[in-house]
Structure 1
Amino acid sequence: MSDTTAPDVLVLRKGTHGIPIEAYADAIRDRLPDHTVALARTPAEEREAIRNATFVTGMTLEEDLLDAAENLEVFACAYAGTGHLPLEELEERGVAVTNASGVHGPNIGEHVLGAILHFTRRFHVGARRQRRREWRHYRAHELQGSTVTVVGLGAIGRAVCDRLEPFGVDHLGVRYTPEKGGPTDEVIGFESAAFDDALARTDYLVLACPLTETTRGLLDREAFVTIDPEAVLVNVARGPVVETDALVEALRSNWIRGAALDVTDPEPLPEEHPLWTFENVQITPHNAGHTPQYYERLADIVAENVARIDDDGDDAGLENQVSP
């Protein structure tokens, strides 16, 4: 790559979910046939190509690479979360930052629904009896008429609610600004009294919120004492939203019926951790976000924003913009 040649879109080399990053670059090219899309496959290529690039997309942007970017105007983060980025420096330089919000909605929504049905019909019990070749009936539950509380009503929380709609459940939503409403029958804030009341009514508690000062440790010992003992926890948010020691105590004390954990604290979960040993805990290795459509949906966002810049001549009003 020449120092003087700037592609319309530069794709950085780090991929995700085990899918080659070339698939992401190809998906962008398919949507922008009249634009140049370059993929930097080595650290040296990244440092050289980013010098004159104005529109860059990737999973992360290290500060030393940002230092080499002399003309950067837009960084399209390929993750929904942007807390790992040098946001203050990007803002100081006037770089617009977008994220991948909405990309995970369908697949994580399906993951949550699968986890709920897993515990509703107690498939883990059936699998255990199958391994033992034991033909013996067991009690199951019914999702219809249950109360599902969804903490976080962003793209993922809304996708969960959409997929729950045909099952005849009552659902509560928890968000920072309950006055905005949402797709649930009732929306509350994080005030302790309202949240405690929701926990006491909850059959399935879905965590789909970002990790913030408000949500860190949201499910502590007091929360597990308050929640209905027949409730199931589904965490597709971040591990530290749940206090792990309190969760272990709750499981040992039968304060909850079970838990489906796609995220843990710590993560990865150490081999010797007691959470591995509970028969009523389903653990997946931060896998809810995996989808073969990941790069395709990302490319839709990038192509839309390139088109907006082409039409307007600036980076105002970009889709999924999170920083000026």
Structure 2
Amino acid sequence: MLHFGDSSTSYGVTPERAADILNQKLDTRCEFVSSSPNESGAGLRGLLADCDVLVGTSATLDTTICSLFEFAPRLKLVQCLGAGIEKIPLDSIRAAGVTLADASGSNSVPVAEHAFALLLAVAKRVVEKDREMKKGVWNRTPGVEVQGLTHVILGLGAVGTELARRSSAFGMKVIGIRKHPERGTPVQGCEVYGIEDLHSSLPRAEFLTVALPLTSETRGLIGKDEFALMKRTASIVIVSRAAVVDEEALYRALVERRISYAAIDTWYSSPPSAPSRYSIEKLDNVIATPHIGGITTETVYRVFSIVSQNIDNLAAGRDLLNVVDLNLGY
């Protein structure tokens, strides 16, 4: 059952197109039915009755549909099309005794590329100079070279690892902060520390990139105290979930010039709500993009490759890919 409505929440892919892509990849014979997040409760109950696999996004796999799992006796797998699952009610997944899998890793390369593009845009003041040129202002104030600067990457999962590689290739000093530093460095020359060393690492950063999943442990991890530790010339790049950074603290840090710049792709709210309660996206020292870091043609096929492999694995009794630890939340 494909439950994600219009294409705006699913990499630009409609349920009909998703079914076509999956049928091309699957070895298992499947019948696909689609439902909209606006479907009535009665309509969803009817569709769930014969559902073995439920496919949706973090936004559409919500409390409404997850509360109806008692009407889905055959349901075995809930497959999220994205890497972030913070909106999915994990208690409902646990109570139903079904497996939750995500698509983590499918967009790590484009998100890392986007993060580094934002970092370079900040360093070279690309957006600022573009605005000035359009106003007829020829302002040649210099930018900075990133070679030799220190880049602290908060989160060394798939995205953080790819970003560390790109930063290192540009000659940056890379510090990675991860929950399990004993797993070592993913990139030669990258220093790796535990989360307990975050405060001692922040004063060294010219750039801080947030690439952590949002969980109860990481929500608000970067706040007023953390910004106070950073250089006034430092900048922050946010490409995971914005709520890892306290919204008010970020706003204050930017308007009071406690830090220099922010480049943000993932926001505190999505349409129809405004991206930020504080209109952070409108500040002059902010580069804003509309959560597009992971949306590429290549990502679409990687995502649905994971979905098809998991459907085939489920049918064949094999281990599933990207199974979420419901206790950890990722």
| TM-score normalized with structure 2 length | 0.84
Give the structure 1 partner of residue 248 of structure 2. Answer: 245
Amino acid at match of 1:11: L
Q: Distance in 2 between matches of 1:283 and 1:157?
A: 20
Change (3 A) 1:46 1:213: closer
Q: Distance in 2 between matches of 1:13 and 1:136?
A: 47
Shift of 1:33: 5.3
Give the structure 1 partner of residue 295 of structure 2. Answer: 290
Counterpart contact for 1:109–1:156, Cα < 8 Å? yes
| Number of matched pairs | 310
Change (3 A) 1:11 1:292: same
Change (3 A) 1:209 1:52: same
Q: How does 1:82-161 map onto structure 2 within 5 Å?
A: 82-161=85-164
Give the structure 2 partner of residue 182 of structure 1. Answer: 185
Counterpart contact for 1:113–1:164, Cα < 8 Å? yes
Amino acid at match of 2:216: E
Percent of matched pairs sharing the same residue: 30
Change (3 A) 1:200 1:256: same
Counterpart contact for 1:13–1:39, Cα < 8 Å? no
SS across alignment from 2:324: strand
Q: Distance in 2 between matches of 1:270 and 1:168?
A: 33
Counterpart contact for 2:248–2:278, Cα < 8 Å? no
SS across alignment from 2:195: coil
Q: Distance in 2 between matches of 1:175 and 1:270?
A: 27
Change (3 A) 1:147 1:30: same
Counterpart contact for 2:86–2:214, Cα < 8 Å? no
Counterpart contact for 2:156–2:176, Cα < 8 Å? yes
Change (3 A) 1:63 1:213: closer
Counterpart contact for 1:28–1:37, Cα < 8 Å? no
| TM-score normalized with structure 1 length | 0.86
Counterpart contact for 2:178–2:193, Cα < 8 Å? yes
Bigger radius of gyration: 1
Change (3 A) 1:40 1:253: closer
1:53 pairs with 2:51: yes
SS across alignment from 1:321: coil
What are structure 1's unaligned runs of at least 5 residues? Answer: 1-9
Give the structure 1 partner of residue 19 of structure 2. Answer: 25
Change (3 A) 1:277 1:113: same
Amino acid at match of 1:303: S
Change (3 A) 1:175 1:116: same
Q: Distance in 2 between matches of 1:272 and 1:180?
A: 38
Shift of 1:296: 1.5
Give the structure 1 partner of residue 304 of structure 2. Answer: 299
Change (3 A) 1:128 1:86: closer
Give the structure 1 partner of residue 324 of structure 2. Answer: 322
Shift of 1:133: 1.9
Counterpart contact for 2:15–2:34, Cα < 8 Å? no
Q: Distance in 2 between matches of 1:264 and 1:248?
A: 13
Shift of 1:301: 0.8
Give the structure 1 partner of residue 203 of structure 2. Answer: 200
Counterpart contact for 2:251–2:278, Cα < 8 Å? no
1:173 pairs with 2:171: no
Shift of 1:54: 1.8
Shift of 1:277: 4.1
Change (3 A) 1:103 1:46: farther
